[in-house]
């Protein structure tokens, strides 16, 4: 915790995977200590697991994060600084107008599930081609990680990287054509839209 900063206490309604990932990020980022974090839990087993990690626990009848967002409309400077102090423990923070919240949730919150499905397909495809699963998994993960790192570091459009490694008559263009034949990009865009629409509906419900 930064010297001179006011002490922060954080409470979570529930002690599931997301709450634990957020709590770990807050502690790791020096925002607060485990003693300053309280999680509610429905069962005694869950409460014991939370206590074992050093967090306080309450009762309730009802990740590792990399980026998050907030809407600063109407926030005072003091509240904005407090909010940023909390959110920066989770990774990159974006200030997003409220009208974009549902779309942001779709691309930031749901896309890891889509990416994992893509990685799983890469691995299974490599296994079908004869590669041992362990090696296929390592190769797929490294390819996705390396590509994301390259795009982020260069700040360029993904199409430029794709075109750079797609040689005429080569193996990449053959694979890309197979993906296009099965409307891969349309399927991904449809998944994003479905997640967005569900987020909009949940917002109106709650």
Model confidence pLDDT, tens digit, residues 157-202: 999 999 999 999 999 999 999 999 999 999 999 999 999 999 888 8
pLDDT tens per residue, range 132-162: 999 999 999 999 999 999 998 899 999 999 9
In a domain, 164, yes or no: yes
Residues 87 and 179 in one domain: no
> Residues 63, 156: one domain?
no
125 and 185 share a domain?
yes
* 58 and 108 in a common domain: no
Q: Are 139 and 186 members of one domain?
A: yes
- Residue where a domain terminates, one of 68, 95, 122: 95
Strands 67-70, 92-95: pairing kind: parallel
Q: Is residue 2 part of a domain?
A: no
In a domain, 4, yes or no: no
pLDDT value of residue 105: 80
Domain edge (last residue) among 57, 76, 95: 95
Is the CB of residue 34 less than 8 Å from the CB of residue 54?
yes
Q: Which two tokens stand for residue 120?
A: 């799983």
- Of 31, 60, 95, the position where a domain reaches its end is 95
The answer to whether residue 80 sits within a structural domain is yes
Looking at the fold, whether 73 and 30 belong to one and the same domain comes out as yes
User: In this structure, are 83 and 118 located in the same domain?
Assistant: no
Q: Are residues 55 and 138 in the same domain?
A: no
The answer as to whether 3 is a domain residue is: no
Alpha-helix residue ranges (DSSP H) falling in the chain: 17-28, 44-52, 77-87, 101-104, 111-128, 133-154, 158-165, 171-181, 184-205
Radius of gyration of the chain (CA): 21
Q: pTM of the prediction? A: 0.63
Residue 132 belongs to domain spanning: 99-205
- Residues 200, 104: Cα–Cα separation, whole Å: 11
In terms of Cβ atoms closer than 10 Å to its own Cβ (0-12, 13-18, 19+), residue 21 is middle
CA–CA distance, 76 with 172 (Å, rounded to integer) = 51
Summarize pLDDT for 33-91 with one digit per residue, the tens: 887 888 776 677 777 776 776 665 544 333 444 556 555 666 677 767 777 777 766 66
Average pLDDT (112-133) is 95
23, 82: one domain: yes
């Amino acid at each position: 915790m930064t010297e001179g900063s006011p002490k922060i206490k954080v409470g979570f309604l529930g002690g599931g995977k997301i709450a634990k990932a957020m709590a770990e990020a807050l502690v790791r980022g020096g925002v607060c200590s485990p003693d300053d974090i309280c999680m509610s839990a429905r069962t005694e087993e869950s409460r014991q697991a939370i206590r074992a990690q050093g967090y306080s626990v309450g009762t309730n009848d009802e990740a590792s994060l990399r980026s998050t967002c907030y809407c600063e409309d109407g926030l005072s400077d003091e509240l904005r600084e407090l909010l940023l102090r909390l959110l920066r423990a989770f990774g990159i923070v974006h200030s997003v107008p409220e009208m974009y919240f549902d779309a942001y949730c779709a691309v930031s919150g749901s896309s890891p599930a889509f990416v994992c499905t893509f990685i799983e397909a890469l691995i299974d495809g490599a296994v079908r081609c004869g590669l041992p699963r362990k090696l296929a998994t390592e190769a797929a993960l490294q390819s996705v990680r390396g590509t994301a790192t390259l795009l982020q570091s260069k700040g360029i459009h993904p199409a430029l990287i794709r075109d750079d490694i797609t040689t005429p008559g080569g193996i990449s263009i053959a694979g890309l054509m197979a993906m296009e034949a099965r409307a891969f990009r349309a399927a991904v865009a449809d998944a994003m839209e479905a997640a967005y629409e569900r987020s909009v509906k949940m917002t109106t419900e709650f």
